[in-house]
Each structure stands twice: as structure tokens, then as C-alpha cells.
């Protein structure tokens, strides 16, 4: 565990200090929980968003994740603007923050305003810098796989941005294991550092990443930043709290219909542990050796503080086995999980 002055920050519930670790094989140090900002703008007002980022720093969370497309329908880029405005309102905020954003999604209706061509990457980076009101992005992430653009072109564009000091490290999101291998091998041939992080969908209830993505990340020393760590809210205590899933998404309702018995068993076990389901779900990820920092996406400050409880939850071998029994994974890494 690494220490820093921020490690002394404690939340109002006097939890343990925030742990900080290296992101993959890089020298970059990040908190073991990452503040996701998808709700900033559409569901969380600008003043509430600013207060939550203040709360994050007060509790040692120095790692913020966003994307150029975040902001809601018709307001793409708004989330980056909210973060940029926050940076300008307090001395030291920017320097204390490890900022991650993404490129890929459509930012307009014209050709070359989406995907990973060299043209779009460079234009999108400059636009993100303007909205974020900063001169650099610590972690620039490829939001999706672009099967139309060769890795040589992608790496050349990213290398140019890195040489200009506009981006410092490069990561991916939603890439398959073989995409990560292909990216790293191309980078190695070009003499580049390559990827330092991958952001897969990964949670106790969705463990497909364990087949190939996590093994690839561990082999190449790529940090894993799980998105949807509570599986669209199913691991947040939905049955105990509301008797079902909020109307937020059809995907969540369908998933609950399939997993209702498992979610019920999970919430019962969390009650036995005396812990909130959300804290247990995040703590389970923190117990996985490949994971660097789950990305939490709170809508309110209270939800953020609740997520911090995961730092204090210790799951012994018996508890981990019980959780595996409730939400069994794919059986290990590929191909052993299905071929032998």
C-alpha cells in the first residue's frame, strides 16, 4: 500500500484511510476507488457535482473518470464542462486530481466526428481539454473498439498527443482480451509504453471478464478499472430498499427478473455480515487481485459516502466462497473454464 498526505483523510463515519496504488505498471498513483461522473449533469446538478468532488478529495479519492460524450441527451460534453468549472474554483484542485476521460463516441452528425481515426482523436482531445479547462489529461481512454482503424494509426495519433503533453497515459474501455493483446504488441513494436488500464464491465453478478480480459490485463500489467461494479444497481440492495429496481433502465429490470433468487440470497448474506449490499459488492472487487479501482457512480453525496464503506469490509475465505456460490463465475480463465 502506498501512502500520501491524502491518506489521512477520513469520512464522517471514521472509516480507514483511503489506499493508493499504482495504475497498472505505470508510476501513476491512484485511489482504490475512482469517482465516476456519468450522473454529473443528467441526474446530479452542477452544485451537487462540485460538492461531491470536494467530498472525494476530502476522503483521499484523487481519481476521477469521465467521457467526452457524458452529459445527457443533447448535452454531450456537459459533464466535462462541470468538472472544468470545478477545477477553476479552488486552488490545487486540478493538481490533486488524476483525470481520466474517453474518446470514441459521436460528438456530432458529420463524418470524422466519432470513432478512432487520427483526425477524430486529435480533434476530440483538444475539445475535451477546452471543456475541462486544463492543459493535460492524465489518462486518455479509448471508449470502444474501432475495428475500422488500424492500431498503427491509433498509436501514432496518441503518441503525438503524448509528445505534446496533452495526454500522459493511455487506457481502454470495453476491449476484449485479444484486443488488449493486439494493442500491446503493436505498441511494443513501436517502442511505446502502451496501455496502462482497461475499463471492463465487471462485478460479482457479471464475471465474464474473468475468462480473458482479466488474465490479459494481469499478464501485461494493465490496471483494471471495473465499470458497473454494482451491476446496474442489482447489488445495491434493491429488494431490501424498494422491492425492485428503480425505473432507470430496462436492462436492470430484465436482469433482476433472471437473477431475483440470487439477489435475494445475496441481500440475506449481506444482512448476516451486518453490511450494506453496495459496500459488500464493492469490497468483493477490492479483494480481486487484478482490480486497481472500481468506478463508483454516485448520484448524491450520501451515496458516495456509503461507497466508502467498502474500504472497511473484510471478506474472509468463507465469505468469498459463499459469494461465489451465490454468483458463480465462468469457472476460471479461458480456455480452462470451458475446454478442459
Q: Which residues are catalytic?
A: 70
ω into 291 cis (within 30 of 0): no
Which helix (H) or strand (E) element contains residue 63? strand 63-65
CA-CA-CA-CA dihedral for 84, 88, 92, 96, to nearest 10: 0
Residue carrying the nine cell digits 486530481: 97
What interhelical angle do 277-286 and 301-308 show, nearest 10? 50
Which residues are 171's β-sheet partners? 141, 197
Question: For residues 306 and 297, what is the distance between their CA atoms, to the nearest angstrom?
Answer: 12
The CA–CA distances, whole Å, from 105 to 131, 148, 200 equal: 16, 14, 17
Nearest CA among 24, 32, 22 for reference residue 219: 24
For residue 229, give the C-alpha cell.
Answer: 461494479
Please tell me the distance from the alpha carbon of residue 104 to that of residue 67, in angstroms, as a whole number: 9
Amino acid at each position: 500500500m502506498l501512502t500520501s498526505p491524502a491518506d489521512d483523510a477520513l469520512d464522517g463515519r471514521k472509516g480507514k484511510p483511503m489506499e493508493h496504488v499504482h495504475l497498472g505498471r505505470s508510476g501513476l498513483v491512484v485511489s482504490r476507488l475512482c469517482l465516476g461522473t456519468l450522473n454529473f449533469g443528467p441526474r446530479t446538478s452542477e452544485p451537487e457535482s462540485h460538492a461531491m468532488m470536494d467530498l472525494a478529495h476530502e476522503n483521499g479519492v484523487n481519481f476521477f473518470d469521465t467521457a467526452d460524450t457524458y452529459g445527457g441527451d443533447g448535452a454531450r460534453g456537459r459533464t466535462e464542462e462541470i468538472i472544468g468549472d470545478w477545477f477553476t474554483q479552488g486552488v490545487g484542485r486540478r493538481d490533486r486530481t488524476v483525470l481520466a476521460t474517453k474518446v470514441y463516441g459521436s460528438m456530432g452528425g458529420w463524418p470524422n466526428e466519432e470513432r478512432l481515426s487520427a483526425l477524430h482523436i486529435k480533434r476530440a482531445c483538444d475539445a475535451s481539454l477546452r471543456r475541462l479547462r486544463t492543459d493535460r489529461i492524465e489518462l486518455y481512454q479509448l471508449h470502444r473498439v474501432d475495428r475500422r482503424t488500424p492500431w498503427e494509426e491509433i498509436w501514432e495519433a496518441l503518441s503525438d498527443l503524448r509528445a505534446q503533453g496533452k495526454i500522459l497515459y493511455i487506457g481502454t474501455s470495453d476491449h476484449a482480451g485479444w484486443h488488449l493483446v493486439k494493442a500491446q504488441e503493436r505498441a511494443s513494436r513501436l517502442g511505446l509504453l502502451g496501455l496502462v488500464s482497461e475499463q471492463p464491465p465487471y462485478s460479482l453478478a457479471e464475471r465474464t471478464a474473468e475468462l480473458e480480459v482479466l488474465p490479459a490485463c494481469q499478464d501485461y500489467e494493465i490496471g483494471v478499472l471495473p465499470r458497473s461494479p454494482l451491476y446496474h444497481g442489482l447489488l445495491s440492495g434493491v429488494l431490501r430498499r424498494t422491492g425492485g429496481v428503480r425505473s432507470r433502465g430496462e436492462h436492470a429490470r430484465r436482469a433482476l427478473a433472471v437473477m431475483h433468487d440470487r439477489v435475494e440470497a445475496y441481500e440475506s448474506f449481506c444482512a448476516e455480515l451486518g453490511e450494506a449490499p453496495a459496500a459488500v459488492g464493492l469490497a468483493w472487487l477490492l479483494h480481486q487481485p487484478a482490480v486497481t479501482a472500481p468506478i463508483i457512480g454516485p448520484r448524491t453525496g450520501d451515496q458516495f459516502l456509503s461507497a466508502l464503506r467498502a474500504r472497511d469490509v473484510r471478506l474472509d475465505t468463507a465469505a468469498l466462497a459463499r459469494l461465489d456460490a451465490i454468483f458463480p463465475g465462468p469457472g476460471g480463465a479461458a480456455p480452462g473454464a470451458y475446454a478442459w
